[in-house]
A and B are shown apart, each in its own frame.
Chain A
Amino acid sequence: DQQVKQNSPSLSVQEGRISILNCDYTNSMFDYFLWYKKYPAEGPTFLISISSIKDKNEDGRFTVFLNKSAKHLSLHIVPSQPGDSAVYFCAASPIGNFNKFYFGSGTKLNVKP
């Protein structure tokens, strides 16, 4: 079951630069997408979401872009800070069903001071 894929297991970025995390999905019934951040020994923390009626959603340093035709979304963090170092999970839910999220395998972001 690889309906949500994060093909980069890790990413290293210098502090102050932009971090771009990518996510692809295969199920065209997905219409709501989220990014969660996870620190070791903690649960996933909601970061930002986007519905399929939009192609961009911004919240402070975090912006999520959605390309429906390519079934691709990305999370941009700018400027990146050392505290952003964590594992980032992309998640998706089918149309009208917020009861089941499909998660990607995660990308471990390391922001170097």
Chain B
Amino acid sequence: EPEVTQTPSHQVTQMGQEVILRCVPISNHLYFYWYRQILGQKVEFLVSFYNNEISEKSEIFDDQFSVERPDGSNFTLKIRSTKLEDSAMYFCASRGTGQETQYFGPGTRLLVL
């Protein structure tokens, strides 16, 4: 069964450093998403992406964040200058055309020291 994959599974970085989280969505999906879950809190929407542009973003997704689809298979989330409060689990999701359901990857645990 096709699934969303994410790399790395864990990332530790110093405050102020840039990180890139990578996702490979399900191959025939065209809608892509990033969510995050701070430890003990709910899953929060960050951004949606379609046709090489952002469809919608939350107030969390400020200028420090960017997304890109550099090739036909990868979808990345970049945090330019990480802050302590960026420590969270980051989930990528994808959705097929005509479908309502988003399918999630296993997540990347980001720890900012």
Residues of A within 8 A of B (CB): 32, 34, 36, 41-46, 49, 51, 89, 91, 93, 97-106
Contact residue range for chain B? 20 to 34
Are A44's CB and B48's CB within 8 A? no
Q: Which residues of chain A are within 8 angstroms of B101 by Cβ–Cβ distance?
A: 34, 46, 49
Are B44's CB and A100's CB within 8 A? no
Are A99's CB and B48's CB within 8 A? yes
- The reply on B65 being an interface residue by CB < 8 A is no
Are A98's CB and B107's CB within 8 A? no
Nearest opposing residue in chain A for B48, CB measure? A99
Residues of B within 8 A of A (CB): 4, 6, 31, 33, 35, 41-45, 48, 50, 55-56, 58, 91, 93, 95, 99-107
Are A104's CB and B100's CB within 8 A? no
Q: How far is the CB of A44 from chain B (nearest CB, A)?
A: 5
Nearest opposing residue in chain A for B32, CB measure? A99
Are A36's CB and B104's CB within 8 A? yes
Q: Which residues of chain A are within 8 angstroms of B99 by Cβ–Cβ distance?
A: 98
Q: How far is the CB of B12 from chain A (nearest CB, A)?
A: 16
Are B48's CB and A100's CB within 8 A? yes
- Given A44-B91, A46-B101, A100 and B106 contact (CB-CB distance below 8 Å): no
- Compute how far the CA of A103 lies from the CA of B33 in the bound complex, rounded to whole angstroms: 14
